[in-house]
Amino acid sequence: MKERDLLNGIVLENADHVLKRLYSLDTAAFRDGGRIGAETKELVALAVSLALRCDDCVSYHLARCADLGVPTPKLAEVMGIATLIGGTITIPHARRAFAAWREMRQKEPRADFDLVLENLRGIAREGADPGSVLAAAAVLMRNSIPGYDWVGFYLSDPVTPGTLVLGPFSGEPTEHVRIGFGRGICGRAAELGRTLVVDDVSRESEYLACSPEVRSEAVVPVFTVEGAVAGELDIDSHEQAAFTPADREFLEKAAAVLSPFVAAAAEALKGGGGG
C-alpha cells in the first residue's frame, strides 16, 4: 500500500489532464457505497482485477476487503467465479491472492480476544449452574468471534472413562454425541492431553465430520485440578486455517477460565445417566 501511494504521487506529479481525470474518476467511483454498497464494490473490483490478472490491483482490493471485514468464505466465492470466468490461466494469480489474503488475516487478530476473555470471566463470576455457564460461554464465543462457526464442549464421562460426551454447544446439531478417546480430532486431543489445531480437516484421515462446510478445527483439552482431562473446548470453522497462534492462546486461556465448570458438568454426568 505504501509503495502504491508513493508511485501514485510520482504519477500525479507528472500526469497530464487525462490521467488526472482518470485518477479522480477512480476515487469518485469508490467514494461511497452507492446502491450496491462498499463491500460489493470492492468484491466486483477484486473479481475484475483477478480475471484481468493484475496482481497489484488484486492485492489492493484484497486489502480493502480486509479493512471492510469481508468474511473469507464470501471472498472465496467471488474468487471462484473470477477464476472460472478468467480461465485456468488465472489460477497462478488466484494462488498468490489467497496467499496474500491469508497473510493479511493472520496479521490482525480476528477479534478483541481480551474483551471476550473479560466477558467469559463475567459469565463465570455470575456463578450459574455449570451447564448454563458453558452454554452462555459457547454462545458468546460463537457470536463475538468471526469464523467460530461451531463452539462446544465435550465432557469426560465419569461413568464410562475414556469417552467424551457432547455438552453445551452453539451451532448446528452434531451426530457425534459420544466420542472415544483416540477417535477423531476430539478423541486424539483428549488422549494426548494437548491442544490440536487442524488447518485442513479434509487431510485428516481420523476426522469425524460434523458438517460438510467445516474446513478447520481447534480442540483444547480442559483439565481437573488433579490434572486429568475433564473435557474439552471444540471450535469448528468454515474457513481453512482459521486458527492463528493468537486464537490458540485465547482458546487455552478461555479453557482455563472455564475448567471448573467443565469439571463440574462432567461430574454431574454421574447423576444424569450420561449423554
- Shortest separation between residue 186's beta carbon and ligand SME, angstroms: 3
Report how far residue 256's alpha carbon sits from residue 259's, in angstroms, rounded to the nearest whole number.
5
* 70-77 long-range contacts, CB within 8 A, separation 24+: 70/39, 70/42, 70/43, 71/146, 71/147, 71/239, 72/101, 72/105, 72/147, 72/239, 72/240, 72/242, 73/238, 73/239, 74/43, 75/43, 75/46, 75/101
- Shortest separation between residue 261's beta carbon and ligand SME, angstroms: 19
Residues near ligand SME, by CB under 6 A? 150, 152, 174, 176, 179, 184-187, 207-208, 210, 217, 234, 236
Instruction: Report which secondary-structure segment, H or E, holds 183.
Output: none
Helix (H, G, I), strand (E, B) or coil at 230: strand
Q: Which three cell numbers stand for residue 80?
A: 471462484
Q: For ligand SME, which residue has the nearest CB?
A: 184
Cβ nearer to ligand SME, comparing 132 with 174? 174
- 20 contacts 13 by C-beta, under 8 angstroms: no
Cβ nearer to ligand SME, comparing 106 with 174? 174
- Shortest separation between residue 159's beta carbon and ligand SME, angstroms: 20
**Which single residue is written with the C-alpha cell 477479534?**
111
Cβ nearer to ligand SME, comparing 82 with 179? 179
Q: Which residues contact 136 (CB under 8 A, 6 or more apart)?
A: 123, 128
- Shortest separation between residue 139's beta carbon and ligand SME, angstroms: 15
- Shortest separation between residue 167's beta carbon and ligand SME, angstroms: 11
Cβ nearer to ligand SME, comparing 154 with 250? 154
Q: Where are the beta strands (DSSP E) in 119-195?
A: 150-156, 163-170, 178-180
- 94 contacts 58 by C-beta, under 8 angstroms: no
Residue 150 phi, psi (nearest 5): -140, 125
- Shortest separation between residue 123's beta carbon and ligand SME, angstroms: 21
Cβ nearer to ligand SME, comparing 97 with 164? 164
**Which single residue is written with the C-alpha cell 482455563?**
256
- Shortest separation between residue 78's beta carbon and ligand SME, angstroms: 27
Cβ nearer to ligand SME, comparing 75 with 197? 197
Cβ nearer to ligand SME, comparing 130 with 171? 171
Cβ nearer to ligand SME, comparing 93 with 238? 238
The burial of 161, by beta-carbon neighbours within 10 Å (0-12 exposed, 13-18 middle, 19 or more buried), is given as exposed
Q: What count of Cα atoms within 13 Å lies in the side-chain half-sphere of residue 201? A: 24
- Shortest separation between residue 164's beta carbon and ligand SME, angstroms: 9
